[in-house]
Amino acid sequence: MAANDFVNRTEWGSGTVAEDAHYSVLATYRRDRKSTETLLKEALAREVVLRQQRDRLLQQREKLLAGREDAASRVGNLTSRQRQIMELILLGHRNKRIASEVSLSQRTVESHRAAIMKKMGARCLPELTQLVLAASLV
């Protein structure tokens, strides 16, 4: 009796050993295929989310770079005297002290301060500080 005849004639479960092995392999294949499909779908979904996050980060980066260039341009529009006074303002000096340090009247320092704020487009000291920090990172 040949090996194939033995395999085909030996009863086990619902059919021959060979048929049972075939169905077992087929069932395993289907289960593995379904698991693989599920894993691929999950991986693709994660890939989509990661690409969206990357795109948002690139857009934020472009806005940040544009803001830095704008801030640098604004600082570049200041006169050397205005930059000198702005540095003292950012160090926390009051108008009276700045006036004595740069040999100007307090009213002139106040005028420079107003011009600095207007040219920089800042409404308050923290906003001015943010613009100068952004400009210095270019």
Residue 32 to residue 12: CA distance in whole angstroms: 24
Tell me: the pLDDT tens digits for 41-72? 888 999 999 999 999 999 988 888 888 888 99
Phi, psi at 79, each rounded to 5°: -75, 165
pLDDT at 17 over 80: no
Helix (H) or strand (E) run with residue 85 in it: helix 80-90
pLDDT band at 7 (very low <50, low <70, confident <90, very high): very low
How many Cα atoms within 13 Å fall on the side-chain side of residue 89?
23
Tell me: the pLDDT tens digits for 81-121? 999 999 999 999 999 999 999 999 999 999 999 999 999 99
Confidence (pTM): 0.56
Class of domain 13-136: mainly alpha
